[in-house]
């Protein structure tokens, strides 16, 4: 339970920020925190708390997997750092690029192939798979 104490401020922040389906468990020296954040901003805030407790995320004793909840069919914003987001034929970086979406561009989430790759459609009608960690729900 020591890890739970170490990251208590993070769990509290998640609870206070309205993270749903919050699951916190410790297994073999690693704490796993999963849940659905109400927004991308909440996810980012939690990662900042994580970094305060464990500078540079260096301890390797936490897996934080709280992602902003996005409904299929809704609009999502591209949150790459500055580059374009590749839209690929299939779910994987080994798949050919069939289109691109600019940073801050708003595209439509068509379906979720898995947690990491989502099928999307741009305003220009380009369809393919994009990396979900570069997408967040519109605030």
Whichever of 2 and 23 has its CB closer to other proteins, that residue is 23
The dihedral through the CA atoms of 93, 79, 19, 138 has a sign that is negative
Nearest alpha-carbon partner for 80 in 97, 105, 58:
105
Residue placing its CB nearer to other proteins in the complex, 15 or 83: 83
One-character DSSP codes across 93-138: TTSPEEEEE-TT-EEEEEEESSSSEEEEE-TT--EEEEEGGGEEE-
**Strands 62-68, 30-37: pairing kind:** parallel
Q: Between 52 and 123, whose beta carbon lies closer to other proteins?
A: 52
Q: How far is the CB of 16 from other proteins (least distance, A)?
A: 20
Q: Which is nearer to other proteins, 34 or 126 (CB)?
A: 34
Minimum distance from CB of 93 to other proteins (Å)?
Answer: 5
Residues in contact with other proteins by the rule CB under 8 A? 21, 23-25, 27-30, 32, 34, 43-44, 47, 51, 56-58, 60-61, 63-65, 67, 81, 83, 92-94, 115-116, 131-133
Kindly state the smallest distance separating residue 130's Cβ from other proteins, in Å: 11
Cα 128 from Cα 136, distance rounded (Å) = 17
Q: Identify the H or E element spanning 14.
A: helix 8-16
Tell me the closest approach of the beta carbon of residue 74 to other proteins, in angstroms. Answer: 19
């Amino acid at each position: 339970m020591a890890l739970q104490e170490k990251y208590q401020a993070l769990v509290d922040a998640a609870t206070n920020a309205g993270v749903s389906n919050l699951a916190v468990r410790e297994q073999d020296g690693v704490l796993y925190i999963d849940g659905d954040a109400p927004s991308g901003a909440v996810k980012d805030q939690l990662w900042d708390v994580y970094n305060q407790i464990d500078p540079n995320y260096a301890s390797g004793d936490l897996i934080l997997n709280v992602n902003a909840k996005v409904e299929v069919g809704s609009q999502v914003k591209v949150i790459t750092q500055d580059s374009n987001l590749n839209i690929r034929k299939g779910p994987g970086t080994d798949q050919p690029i069939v289109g691109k979406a600019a940073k801050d561009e708003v595209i439509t989430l068509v379906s979720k192939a898995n947690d990491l790759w989502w099928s999307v459609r741009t305003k220009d009608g380009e369809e393919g798979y994009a990396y979900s960690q570069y997408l967040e729900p519109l605030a």
